[in-house]
Amino acid sequence: MNSLMTNIRAKHCFAAILFVVIALASAAIAQSSPSQSPNATAEHIFKNIKVLKDIPANQLIPSMQFISASLGVECGFCHVENHFDQDDKKPKQVARKMMLMMTAINQNNFDGHRQVTCNTCHRGARVPEGIPAIAEGPFVPKLRDTGEESLANLPSATQLLDKYVGALGGEKALLRISTLSEKGTANFMGREFAIDIYDKAPDKRASFMHLPNGDSATVFNGQQGWTGFPHQPPRDMPVSELEGARIDADLQFALHIQQMFPNLRPARPENLAGQQTYQLVSENAGQPQIRLYFDQQTGLLLRMVRYGDSPLGLNPVRVDYADYSAVDGVQVPHRWTVARPSGQFSVQVTDVKQNVDIEDAKFSKPAAPQQGESSQ
């Protein structure tokens, strides 16, 4: 089994819990639209959109997540609870002005490229800090990722990825995997929930977190993804998350990394909790796509940082992997921790089975409630 793919499942487990908030928010502000066009813009689906009118409708929530993370606030800082379209709160008016200001800065100074974002100034604070912070220790200059003499003798991307595949158990062992079934517990905000995760080649994946009032689900069927929460209709996964879902569903992702990210290059090695790592980075048009951290001794993946795009900026997700042990000759991480700007989430796997029968029904999108049928 591809350990990288196994690890990343945490991203979608976290998304299943995060969906609790997103579902309530989007349900409150979205207009009734049983069959949304994939090309629908935000102003046609949501009420009272003033600035982000022309972005795809499914990119509005990722944009709001980016604002929330950049300012360190919840939805209620700008919006009236359950009345997201109302303009009663002053911060909402200010946010609109700030988005226009950000757009103008980038247009007038950076040829329209998104160089300045909300986070450029706010850095997780409601009010930007205009005074430099006083250092708490001696100044240590940071090495740049490129152009430094210390990077010259680092292993190449191909060398690191080959060592990673070998550390997992080898290409043949990875190619033998057709399905994967995992059971364990998910820990979020101090509470534990049972979780089941299913993968089926070539590109299907589903996770089900068992909450007291029903299952929270995150599913990718090879072409589209969705999330579901008890007693709520399924909601399509934002475009910015589909690439991650596609990676998660690839049982041989470790063999496909270089194909998916052909511009991977070595970057400055880092120490992760006492473990020395080699780092590979991939960028597209100057924006980071992915960062991979491999243990210098074992070659196993210890951390992945992914970036989901939104019209306002990049939403980062970090996944740390631990407790590797062999399952049918393949090294599998039995614990992973997902960190987003909004918090952390961990999964502890207690049972892993490969090449077992998994019915296709697990990857089928449930029907939305009929018109007039309550979804509460």
60-85 mean pLDDT: 89
E strands present in the chain:
179-188, 191-200, 204-211, 214-220, 225-228, 235-236, 265-272, 275-284, 287-295, 301-309, 314-327, 330-340, 343-354
Q: What is the pLDDT of residue 141?
A: 62
pLDDT value, residue 165: 97
**Block residue for tokens 């300045």:** 116
The mean pLDDT of 178-199, rounded to a whole number, is: 92
CB distance 269 to 277 below 8 Å? yes
Phi, psi for 225 (deg, rounded to 5): -130, 155
Cα distances from 84 to residues 27, 48, 89, 361, in angstroms, run 10, 9, 10, 35
Residue 100 has pLDDT above 80, yes or no: yes
The per-residue pLDDT for 8 is 34
What pLDDT score was predicted for residue 19? 39
- Tens digit of each residue's pLDDT (9 = 90 or more) over 111-123: 998 999 999 999 8
Give me the pLDDT at residue 140, please.
63
Residue 83 DSSP one-character state: B
How does the average pLDDT of the chain come out, rounded?
Answer: 84
| Distances from the Cα of 107 to the Cα of 41, 67, 94, 376, angstroms | 22, 20, 20, 44
CB–CB of 296/276 below 8 Å?
yes
Do 266 and 155 touch, CB atoms closer than 8 A? yes
Amino acid at 310: S
| pLDDT (0 to 100) of residue 345 | 85
Bridge partners for 235 per DSSP: 227
Indicate whether 1 pLDDT > 60.
no
CATH of 20-122 among 3.40.50.300, 1.10.468.10, 1.10.357.10, 3.40.630.30: 1.10.468.10
* pLDDT of 173 above 80: yes
Domains of the chain by residue range:
20-122
DSSP-derived secondary structure for 255-287:
HHHHHH-TT-EEEEEEEETTEEEEEEEEEETTE
Predicted confidence at residue 369, as pLDDT, reads: 55
Asked whether 332 and 175 are in contact (CB, 8 A), the reply is no
- 62: tokens are 């990722």
Q: How confident is the model at residue 28 (pLDDT cuts 50, 70, 90)?
A: very low
Confidence band for 29, pLDDT divided at 50, 70 and 90: very low
How far apart are the two ends of the chain, measured CA to CA in Å? 39
**H/E stretch holding 313:** none
Label residues 356-370 b or e (16+ Cβ within 10 Å = b).
eebeeebbeeeeeee
The residue with greater pLDDT, 1 or 72, is: 72
- What one-character DSSP code corresponds to residue 177? -
Residue of 36, 262, 52 whose CA lies nearest to 157: 262
Helix (H) or strand (E) holding 229: none
Q: What is the pLDDT of residue 232?
A: 86
Contact 159, 319 (CB under 8 A): no
Query: What confidence score (pLDDT) does residue 322 get?
Result: 94
Tens digits of residue pLDDT in 249-275? 889 999 999 999 999 999 999 999 899
Of 284 and 109, the structure prediction assigns the larger pLDDT to 109
Percent of the chain with pLDDT over 70: 84
Q: Is 28 exposed, middle or buried (0-12, 13-18, 19+ CB in 10 A)?
A: middle
**pLDDT at residue 188 greater than cutoff 70:** yes
Q: Are 41 and 54 within 8 A, CB to CB? A: yes
> Residue 167: pLDDT band by 50, 70, 90 thresholds?
very high
Q: CA 256, CA 247: separation in Å to the nearest integer? A: 9
Per-residue pLDDT averaged across 224-250, rounded? 87
53-68 average pLDDT score:
89
d(CA 364, CA 360): 7
**Per-residue pLDDT at 23:** 36
pLDDT, mean of residues 223-236: 89
Residue 160 pLDDT more than 80? yes
CA-CA-CA-CA torsion sign (90, 84, 240, 65): positive
